[in-house]
Chain A
Amino acid sequence: QKEVEQDPGPLSVPEGAIVSLNCTYSNSAFQYFMWYRQYSRKGPELLMYTYSSGNKEDGRFTAQVDKSSKYISLFIRDSQPSDSATYLCAMSEVSNIDMRFGAGTRLTVKP
């Protein structure tokens, strides 16, 4: 079993749709949860950073963490074609150290 599981997709939605991206994990010691966006042939950029369980909202993006279920989600509201990218979840026991990444979900938002 992989430490972090993420459906690689691809996922295709129409512009304006709500997108839901998810990851599950097996290590109950993970405390820090991140979502990165990666455009083709570029390095990942941090979108959301959450500590422990709960929700966090930033503009059109909402991150949810359910530690009891070992499940995290990223919601994108009013999706735009510019949101088309690969979204990677990542998590760690200690902040910014030894992060484990999901495989990434490739998202396409069609105009």
Chain B
Amino acid sequence: GAVVSQHPSWVICKSGTSVKIECRSLDFQATTMFWYRQFPKQSLMLMATSNEGSKATYEQGVEKDKFLINHASLTLSTLTVTSAHPEDSSFYICSASFSEQYFGPGTRLTVT
């Protein structure tokens, strides 16, 4: 089956620093990848849709200058949380679209 990986699986950073999260489709090419955020006991909230080679489309209320998304190849998309703050602490999940959306295992970000 289609596999999507994320790296790192867990990261702790200090307030004001930037963190990069990678999302890779391991055995298929994905022209579209999605980034979600999930707070404890809450639903997945779509942050942005990323198409290979073009700028990401952000959902209303998501700051594009804070959450930088790069989709440079058909197998890799990155999310960079810039100037992270404690309120950015969350579970970030990516998905890659093939015949369906395949989700990565998620990255837990803790900002201290």
Contacts and interface: CB of A to CB of B under 8 A. Distances in A.
A101 B93 contact: no
Contacts of A54: none
Contacts of B44: 44, 88, 90, 101
Interface residues of A, number: 23
Contacts of A41: 91, 105-106, 108
Interface of B: 4, 6, 32, 41-46, 49, 91, 93, 95, 97, 100-101, 103-106, 108
B100 A44 contact: no
Interface of A: 4, 6, 8, 36, 41-46, 49, 88, 90, 96-104, 106
Given A43-B103, A100-B46, A103-B42, 20 more contacts: A8-B41, A36-B103, A41-B91, A42-B105, A42-B106, A43-B4, A43-B95, A43-B104, A43-B106, A44-B103, A45-B103, A88-B44, A90-B44, A96-B100, A97-B49, A101-B43, A103-B41, A103-B43, A104-B41, A104-B43
Given A8-B41, A44-B44, A101-B44, A96 B104 contact: no
B9 to A, nearest CB: 8
Contacts of B4: 43
Contacts of A103: 41-43
Contacts of A8: 41
A-B pairs with the 8 shortest C-beta distances? A43-B103, A101-B43, A103-B43, A101-B44, A43-B105, A44-B103, A96-B97, A43-B106
B108 A98 contact: no
24 contacts: A4-B43, A6-B43, A36-B103, A41-B91, A42-B106, A43-B6, A43-B103, A43-B105, A43-B106, A44-B44, A49-B100, A88-B44, A90-B44, A96-B101, A97-B49, A97-B97, A98-B46, A99-B46, A100-B46, A101-B43, A101-B45, A102-B43, A104-B41, A104-B42
